[in-house]
Amino acid sequence: MGFFWLADIFCLNCISKKIFMKKLPILLVLICVCISCDGKKKLELENREKAIILREEEFEKKEADYKALLLMRDSISALKDTISNTTEVIKEWPASLHGLWNSKMLCRESNCSQYVIGDQRNESWEFISDSTGIYTNVINNKKLVRVFKAKYIADKIMLEFSSDTISKNKLKINVVLDDIKDNVIKGSQTITGQDNCTARFSVELTLASKK
């Protein structure tokens, strides 16, 4: 009996080993599959993490651009307010501009037939103000020939004149005086005539007398 019992155990061990050897490749495949799955999951997690980091960086960049735009908007608004306030404050000309000024204008550029380069013109200018604003009168041969609307902003005088709608000769004149001293004022004048021709003059004003 003992012999047969040992023989049975031996046979069972042999059978178990054979079964194990047959199933070993399957176990190896399963192990490889598990390792591969773990690797894919790890790679997916890394890719997701990278995507999240990229989105965070893009969001931070957009947030920075948005803040920069807000700052720019605030700066422009502040500049507009400053210009507006300056324009409102200056309701009359400074005392240093009172009186008549002799103007000397020399044509520097022109594509208009009535203005030739080198032409010189002389007039008298007077800076005036009233309850409606500030203006500049242009006098020639003791006659008022033109009234400029004026703005005085940040040490710069800007004058503008447009002929009325019924005038045959359409004319627009813009003057910028940006070199202002006690007795001498310099700048430029641009005349836009019919057919959009333009003529540019240098302007020099010298104080003639004070009221």
**Summary mean pLDDT of the chain:** 80
Burial status of residue 171 (CB atoms within 10 A of its CB: 0-12, 13-18, 19 or more) = middle
Q: How many CA atoms within 13 Å lie on the side-chain side of 55?
A: 6
Of 142, 127, 129, 125, the closest CA to residue 89 belongs to 129
Closest CA relative to residue 93, chosen from 129, 136, 131 = 129
Structure tokens at 10: 């031996």
Could you read off the pLDDT of 168-207 as tens digits, one per residue? 778 899 999 999 988 899 999 999 987 889 999 999 999 9
Predicted confidence band of residue 12 (pLDDT cuts 50, 70, 90): very low
The answer to whether residue 89 scores a pLDDT higher than 50 is no
- DSSP assignment string, 58-98: HHHHHHHHHHHHHHHHHHHHHHHHHHHHHHHH--S--GGG-
Residue type, 165: T
Residues 6+ apart with CB under 8 A from 148: 135, 136, 137, 138, 159, 160, 161, 173, 175
Residues 163 and 78 in one domain: no
> Tens digit of pLDDT for each residue in 35-67?
666 667 778 888 888 888 888 888 888 888 787
- Tell me: pLDDT of 2 over 60: no
- Whether 99 and 201 map to the same domain: the answer is yes
Domain CATH code at residue 174: 2.40.128.20
How far apart are the C-alpha atoms of 50 and 54, rounded to whole Å? 6
pLDDT tens-digit map of 148-171: 999 998 789 999 999 877 667 788
Q: Do 67 and 161 reside in the same domain of the chain? A: no
**Domain C-terminal end among 68, 89, 110:** 89
Residue among 114, 112, 109, 106 at smallest CA distance from 197: 112
Same domain, 47 and 99: no
User: Of 89, 119, 136, which one is at a domain's C-terminal end?
Assistant: 89
Q: Flag the least confident range among 28-32, 59-63, 68-72, 82-86.
A: 82-86
Q: What is the pLDDT of residue 11?
A: 52
Give 6's pLDDT tier (boundaries 50, 70, 90).
very low
Report the distance separating Cα 200 and Cα 175, nearest Å.
Answer: 10
205 shares a domain with 111 = yes
Quote the tokens at residue 61: 């960049």
pLDDT of residue 42: 77
Range of the domain at 144: 95-209
Residue 114 and residue 205 in one domain? yes
| Among candidate residues 67, 89, 111, the one where a domain is terminated | 89
Return the structure tokens found at 150.
């004026």
Q: What's the total number of domains in the chain?
A: 2
Residue 99 is predicted with a pLDDT of 86
User: pLDDT digit string (tens) for 95-129?
Assistant: 889 889 999 999 999 999 889 999 999 999 999 99
Look at residues 136, 157, 156, 139 and name the one whose alpha carbon lies nearest to residue 148: 136
For residues 111 and 172, what is the distance between their CA atoms, to the nearest angstrom? Answer: 15
b/e sequence 43-76, b meaning 16+ C-beta within 10 Å:
eeeeeeeeeeeeeeeeeeeeeeeeeeeeeeeeee
